[in-house]
Structure 1
């Protein structure tokens, strides 16, 4: 395992903490600076309607400079000691959908080489629209789209989703659904 000899915070706000570490490998090589990005954990929700529609959101992603289609997702709030509560909140806020049938599928690191956070994937079955979305600042223009799950799965190779973590969350969730039915 690497040892950290020193660490300096370069940027820190509510979204990210960037630090530069001075590290020594087991063989004695020094790696410096080694940048580490500390984010809050994220949640992804694979919400299926009773008729096998997949609840999606289309929203602007600034770093890509594009409107992208993906899963309802968001940050685990610091006050949420129950990650499922964050998933339920994100689904309701972004899409207006709710479900009584939830299951955690996985918790994976999106990039363990440089990121400290994990993405928690949940399945929500029999999701129904119960309210209007309640969007956060910066989510203007977000559009809720329900597409047949088979259409979305068929479109993965053609880039229907451009976020790799959304693809992995969807595929893992679909694999787990047999255990839920």
Structure 2
């Protein structure tokens, strides 16, 4: 057990917090924290709703992916169907069910938590719950708006998706973590 003052034992406390921006998707603030050895330091924090992502595998072991434009990086990226936990009182599994239908027109009979990911803990509060969805059936996709109207939906053999992660065709961090974690889960089963 570490002694008080040893690395890993400092109790970081927020002594001040200042809101900078409150937008539709993100909130920005500056927190002032106590530092080891005395003094304080400011940390810029991006507040972001938690999210879900879905590894949807069909009976033929194909994964359903979506490809959409991401303006921050200026690219169209292959991703897992995903969305924000932005409905009050909705459990993450229900959010995942809703997002899978909205983005792909699929429902699933079986849901299994795979992994939780904190994509950018140095500055962002977002936590992503990744689920494995199986027992898929087509139910139709509702009319999409905004970026989702331009979203491509495709199925790919799961082994190819793993290779696409490893060779750099799939670079979205949540998709990378979700696909590789699902491979580990499948191999353990």
TM-score norm. by structure 1 comes to 0.91
**Structure 2 SS opposite 1:168:** helix
1:8 is matched with 18
Is 1:102–2:108 an aligned residue pair?
A: no
Q: Is the CA contact 1:121–1:173 (under 8 Å) kept in the aligned structure 2?
A: no
Structure 2 unaligned segments of length 5 or more: list them: 1-10
Q: Does 1:92 align with 2:96?
A: no
The alpha-carbon deviation at position 133 of structure 1 amounts to: 4.6
TM-score for both structures, normalised by structure 2: 0.88
Within the candidate set 90, 111, 121, 1:112 is matched to: 121
2:171 is aligned, of 162, 170, 176, to 162
- Structure 1, unaligned stretches of length 5 or more? none
* 1:29 corresponds to 2:39: yes
CA-CA distance at 1:91 after TM superposition: 0.6
Compute the RMSD of aligned alpha carbons: 1.6
**Shift, 1:108, TM fit:** 2.6
Q: Are the equivalent residues in 1 in contact too, given 2:46–2:124 (CA < 8 A)?
A: yes
Quick check: 1:70–1:166 contact (8 Å CA) kept in 2?
yes
Structure possessing the higher radius of gyration over alpha carbons: 2
Q: 1:139 aligns to what?
A: 148
The question of whether the paired residues in 2 share the 8 Å contact of 1:80 and 1:86 is answered with: no
Residue matched to 1:61: 70
Distance in 2 separating the partners of 1:118 and 1:90:
16
- Structure 1 runs of 4+ aligned residues shifted over 6 Å read none
Instruction: Tell me, yes or no, if the aligned pair for 1:95 and 1:133 is still in contact at 8 Å.
Output: no
